[in-house]
Structure 1
């Protein structure tokens, strides 16, 4: 347990300091845990490493990178600029809203994989930094994903174990998520208002561009959009199909590779392998905390301080899961909290349904706190890095953590007013 904690803290310290690339230090930390048998090979393969997340990432990256070759992202980028009449302030608001809505019906990782290339096309053509857009998109994707059963992995886990439906999530979480989305979009629009300026001459030139000129391969575009549409439909129906989202994504990717005629080596070279291997290392490190009982101890201690008071328990779960999820992947924490809440349900001291919503809000929104708090954050940082832009831990934390705390304050007010007054 001590070694697992020490390795986690050291890896985290190096990630924050950025002295060593996060992928290298995550893999090194994972290797130490495996060498000293803190995490067994069997546990790492079968429990710690979330192959569903990795498969989803690889599959969607392949689909997006093939689709990108058609020029559709540049086309949408020009359309977006024209729709907002060149106002970057309006643009950041529109993109954030689109991202949030898409994340509610897809997963947030898929959404950022689709949206970020569009943003990079816009910012490259207008000669501005994509960082303000990226931060807003990360937030919007995690906020939007909180609203539904299928938007974020913790919600899928909660819905499955607690027997809650798609509409249960919408009725109980969508009202506060709408308020949180509007609040955060306006906050980031205000924070970045001075950075959202573009050369007027460049803007005028851009507005006169014929966006149809960007479409390079219409046949490939039709094939790509057809496969993307089928994949998205698969995500929406994955529960009824009894298929993991990774299987759907990889099936879509392999189908598009088959019918597109694109060189598979070229496509695989574009996959963000540094991001994939960072997740692999991080999963094993967090697995070390899980298998040694660290996460279980923290979760039980969090509940013990409430003395089973309904309101206090809900607030401790909300704030505890938010702070925890900002620094560690929210999936193992959610997995630990679910049986504890189910045990409380069996005891029958009080209605535990509000606790599920507290856990969902805390686990999903808490991921906005740091650059490694959620999968969408890491993927976005990787896509930016590929284009030569660095979204550092410190820069993201400066804007994101205080805003994340505000979203939890709003969630607190919502829980108290709706369920305990």
Structure 2
């Protein structure tokens, strides 16, 4: 009992530091997590158990993709793509943003949403510079779009990959059950984007002027760009078939990064500057804290409380919201890791396969409610600070996106109840 109280207190303290902009969240998360380990408060936390505690697949994926995207950015590739994106929108800001939202969501369905955001973030920042827009608005739009698209398929985001592995459900089953609701939420996202976009004549002129630029003129190193784009395309292809060839996403990403470094002759010391180390260490600390909650029995208590409920519609509705808020305040991957044993127990107790879809929608859409909701959120905000020097605090992000997140979870709840009703 005392250990549970200490771990829960440590978790609350960590979140206090997250809400306080004076402290580095990565440093404080690691400090609290390592303090638990050093004091032996949670005996299972040890060097030998690190692979069980920390999701190295997610971390490796992030590091590999950050390196490749960083090197690709130096060649002018994303500036090049920005010109074409604005040309497709014909100088109209709303049309341009709608095209980007759709592109981000579509690509996120077949790539990890972190990868998608790493691809599109530099494009969003370029458009921000050209149009004179607040980059925080655009990166938030990119984050939400990537999470919505990611929830629609088995390989779209890390939580779905974890759920697919645990449930043994097929790629087509994920898509057929989750893609329809993802489309509905995406439409809601498009309406929000149009309403929140203020367009002036000056912005239109800037966009048209930028669209008139020769795309090839913004490329700084055509040869290197071709090499990196080729490797990048191969990595994306391998991502799409990784469930068939049984190769971890992290291995593919790291291999792609190393090949890129070898081909371009870049030095790792320079390439490592493109890695958002604050994000990496924050995730490590969060994984340790979440594991501690699980080991002291706090998550098992939640599972038992849910299983005591006997009416499936109430159970699945509560599961969506519990998973949603868990993703907001724990992160989608840690929340999914905690919830999977709970869902297995619920299904073994007689609940239908729909329970897995409730979990996937809860963590996938709930992740939009806070800056730590998903790895994509943290990476996007890390890139925002790197490229523009601006930050979005936890309270600010929460206030701006909580209403959209709650509406999304409400729609998802109605969808799950409909699935139960028709027995799908």
Summarize the alignment of residues 31-46 of structure 1 with structure 2, pairs less than 5 Å apart: 31-39=34-42, 40-42=45-47, 45-46=50-51
Question: 1:237 Cα shift?
Answer: 1.1
Question: 1:102 Cα shift?
Answer: 0.7
Could you say what secondary structure the match of 2:23 adopts?
Answer: coil
The C-alpha deviation readout for 1:55-83, integer Å capped at 9, x for no partner, is 11110011111111211100111111121
Could you say what secondary structure the match of 2:368 adopts?
Answer: coil
2:232 corresponds to 1:228: yes
Question: 1:375 Cα shift?
Answer: 0.6
Question: 1:119 Cα shift?
Answer: 0.9
CA distance in 1 between counterparts of 2:334 and 2:83 reads 41
Question: 1:86 Cα shift?
Answer: 2.3
CA distance in 2 between counterparts of 1:189 and 1:375 reads 26
8 Å Cα contact 2:76/2:220 also seen in 1:
yes
8 Å Cα contact 2:93/2:207 also seen in 1:
no
Q: What residue is the counterpart of 1:8 in the other structure? A: 11
Question: 1:413 Cα shift?
Answer: 1.5
CA distance in 2 between counterparts of 1:276 and 1:347 reads 38
Larger CA deviation: 166-175 vs 27-36: 27-36
Summarize the alignment of residues 239-278 of structure 1 with structure 2, pairs less than 5 Å apart: 239-278=243-282
Is there any run of 5+ residues in structure 2 with no aligned partner, and where?
none
Q: What residue is the counterpart of 1:320 in the other structure? A: 322
The C-alpha deviation readout for 1:71-124, integer Å capped at 9, x for no partner, is 110011111112112222222221111111111100111111111011112212
CA distance in 2 between counterparts of 1:199 and 1:222 reads 32
2:293 corresponds to 1:292: no
Q: What residue is the counterpart of 2:139 in the other structure? A: 134
2:49 corresponds to 1:64: no
CA distance in 1 between counterparts of 2:95 and 2:410 reads 27
8 Å Cα contact 2:287/2:334 also seen in 1:
no
Question: 1:29 Cα shift?
Answer: 1.3
- In structure 2, the CA distance between the partners of 1:309 and 1:220, relative to structure 1 (3 Å rule), is same
8 Å Cα contact 1:302/1:320 also seen in 2:
no
- In structure 2, the CA distance between the partners of 1:214 and 1:37, relative to structure 1 (3 Å rule), is same
8 Å Cα contact 1:113/1:380 also seen in 2:
yes
CA distance in 2 between counterparts of 1:411 and 1:335 reads 21
8 Å Cα contact 2:178/2:357 also seen in 1:
yes
The C-alpha deviation readout for 1:137-180, integer Å capped at 9, x for no partner, is 11111111110011122212222222210000111111111011
Instruction: Say which of 239, 242, 255 aligns to 1:238.
Output: 242
8 Å Cα contact 1:136/1:185 also seen in 2:
no
- In structure 2, the CA distance between the partners of 1:217 and 1:30, relative to structure 1 (3 Å rule), is same
2:59 corresponds to 1:54: yes
CA distance in 1 between counterparts of 2:88 and 2:55 reads 40
Could you say what secondary structure the match of 1:194 adopts?
Answer: coil
Instruction: Say which of 147, 150, 164 aligns to 2:152.
Output: 147
Could you say what secondary structure the match of 1:373 adopts?
Answer: coil
Larger CA deviation: 277-286 vs 400-409: 277-286
Instruction: Say which of 134, 156, 164 aligns to 2:161.
Output: 156
- In structure 2, the CA distance between the partners of 1:300 and 1:94, relative to structure 1 (3 Å rule), is farther
**TM-score, length-normalised on structure 1?**
0.94
Question: 1:188 Cα shift?
Answer: 3.0
The Cα RMSD (Å) is 1.8
2:84 corresponds to 1:79: yes
2:109 corresponds to 1:108: no
Could you say what secondary structure the match of 2:68 adopts?
Answer: helix
- Count residues in correspondence: 416
Question: 1:343 Cα shift?
Answer: 3.3
Question: 1:43 Cα shift?
Answer: 6.3
8 Å Cα contact 2:90/2:208 also seen in 1:
no
CA distance in 2 between counterparts of 1:13 and 1:392 reads 12
- In structure 2, the CA distance between the partners of 1:225 and 1:196, relative to structure 1 (3 Å rule), is farther
8 Å Cα contact 2:92/2:207 also seen in 1:
no
2:25 corresponds to 1:22: yes
- In structure 2, the CA distance between the partners of 1:336 and 1:284, relative to structure 1 (3 Å rule), is closer
Q: What residue is the counterpart of 1:181 in the other structure? A: 186
